[in-house]
Amino acid sequence: MKLIMAIVHDKDAHNLADALVANKVQVTKLASTGGFLREGNTTFLIGIDNERVPEIIEIIRRNCKSRTQTVTPVYPVGNSIETGITYPTEIQVGGATVFVLNVEQFHKL
């Protein structure tokens, strides 16, 4: 068994949850926050049999778009401690950041 952790844009979370449930995938959604943008995103936890991992990755790929965002520094030029960015910069966010972990044990008690 594997545990898939997928961090996705909030705007994609609803469609992705629908697609996973429609494909009979059990999923937990967590509200999370990106360390860099400090904006809300959504983390999906999916416990799944090994052979279904490629199918799940494909569902995530189909439902999560890549977006361009402009980051404007909070601090004045030359003093941007939090991000290291000192001027408005375009960054690419997503589609999804996906980790696939081995599950040592799985219990439903």
Residues contributing to the site for ligand 2BA (CB under 6 A): 7, 34-37, 39, 41, 91-94, 97
Q: Compare residues 68 and 105 and give the one whose CB is closer to ligand 2BA.
A: 68
Q: Compare residues 41 and 63 and give the one whose CB is closer to ligand 2BA.
A: 41
Q: Compare residues 18 and 39 and give the one whose CB is closer to ligand 2BA.
A: 39
Q: Residue 30 CB, nearest distance to ligand 2BA (Å)?
A: 11
Question: Which of 43-75 are b and which e, b meaning 16 or more Cβ less than 10 Å from the residue's Cβ?
Answer: bbebebeeebbeebeebbeebbeeeeeebebee
Question: Which two three-digit tokens encode residue 47?
Answer: 């416990």
